[in-house]
Amino acid sequence: DQQVKQNSPSLSVQEGRISILNCDYTNSMFDYFLWYKKYPAEGPTFLISISSIKDKNEDGRFTVFLNKSAKHLSLHIVPSQPGDSAVYFCAASGPAGGSEKLVFGKGTKLTVNP
Amino acid sequence: EPEVTQTPSHQVTQMGQEVILRCVPISNHLYFYWYRQILGQKVEFLVSFYNNEISEKSEIFDDQFSVERPDGSNFTLKIRSTKLEDSAMYFCAIIGTSGIRTQYFGPGTRLTVL
């Protein structure tokens, strides 16, 4: 049962362009969403999060958009840099007050070409 | 960002042996989690630990697994009798005391069961 889905296993973009990574979820109880960046044999590194009371959160080059009616979120990276090349995981938790366990998608491998 | 360390970085063991994986948060935290990632698969929740007791566990977390916080700082995951399918990266994660729901991950322990 995939409660969090990342349908694109890979994405390739040119340096300086926008990277858009997508994520869909099915569980309407999720109310907190996160994006992590991960390199092989390392732990996930937190990038940005968004609460369900918002539809946008921005931090530097990273912006996350949340569309609750569509149960969809996306991560925009502008401008993309070669150092952004990694696997990006979408994760969700909720409802608030529970164990806050994270449910992860399968990840999207982003390659930024110089 | 809260710091989390994990030891060992790599553990090789024989099937049927017991292993203990350790997580050391650098500062005070309330919530502790263990996740694992089998090679090529997504990150999966194992167990959450709050106020010195398990708050939620997954179907993976059967009687062979246990967690404890023996000295108030270290947080350990014990696998009593390892199986080949326990080979994976194991990640510890924490939520800090700020009230923000973001989980921060350690670098992971690679467990190889032969």
- Cβ burial of B48 (10 Å; 0-12, 13-18, 19+) is buried
Nearest-neighbour CA in chain B from A28: distance (Å): 18
Would you call the peptide bond into B8 cis, given omega within 30 degrees of 0 as the criterion?
Answer: yes
User: Which among B42, B56, B104 is the nearest to A106, CB-wise?
Assistant: B42
What is the token pair recorded at A91? 């994760």
Using CA coordinates, name the residue in chain B closest to A5.
B42
pLDDT of residue B97 exceeding 90: no
| Whole-number pLDDT of residue A1 | 66
Distance to chain B for A78, nearest Cα, Å:
23
Predicted confidence at residue B108, as pLDDT, reads 96
Weakest-pLDDT range from A41-55, A79-93, A98-112, B89-103: B89-103
Looking at residue B26, what is its pLDDT?
Answer: 64
* Amino acid letter, residue B88: A
Quick: pLDDT tens for B8-66.
999 999 999 999 999 987 666 778 999 999 998 899 999 998 878 899 999 999 999 99
Asked if B89 lies within 8 A of A100 by C-beta distance, the reply is: no
Q: What does the pLDDT average to over A73-101?
A: 94
User: To the nearest whole angstrom, how far is the Cα of B17 from the nearest Cα of chain A?
Assistant: 23
Among B30, B27, B23, smallest CA distance to B7 is for B23
- Is pLDDT at B72 greater than 80 in this prediction? no
Contact B102 A96 (CB under 8 A): no
CA distance A94 to A52: 10
- Could you read off the pLDDT of A24-67 as tens digits, one per residue? 999 999 999 999 999 988 999 999 999 999 999 999 999 999 99
Task: List residues of A whose CB lies inside 8 A of any B CB.
Answer: 32, 34, 36, 41-46, 49, 89, 91, 93, 96, 98-107
Contact status, residue A73 vs residue A66, Cβ threshold 8 Å: yes
User: Does the beta-carbon distance from B1 to A102 stay under 8 Å?
Assistant: no
Question: For the purposes of burial, counting CB atoms within 10 Å of the CB of B74, is it exposed (0-12), middle (13-18) or buried (19 or more)?
Answer: middle
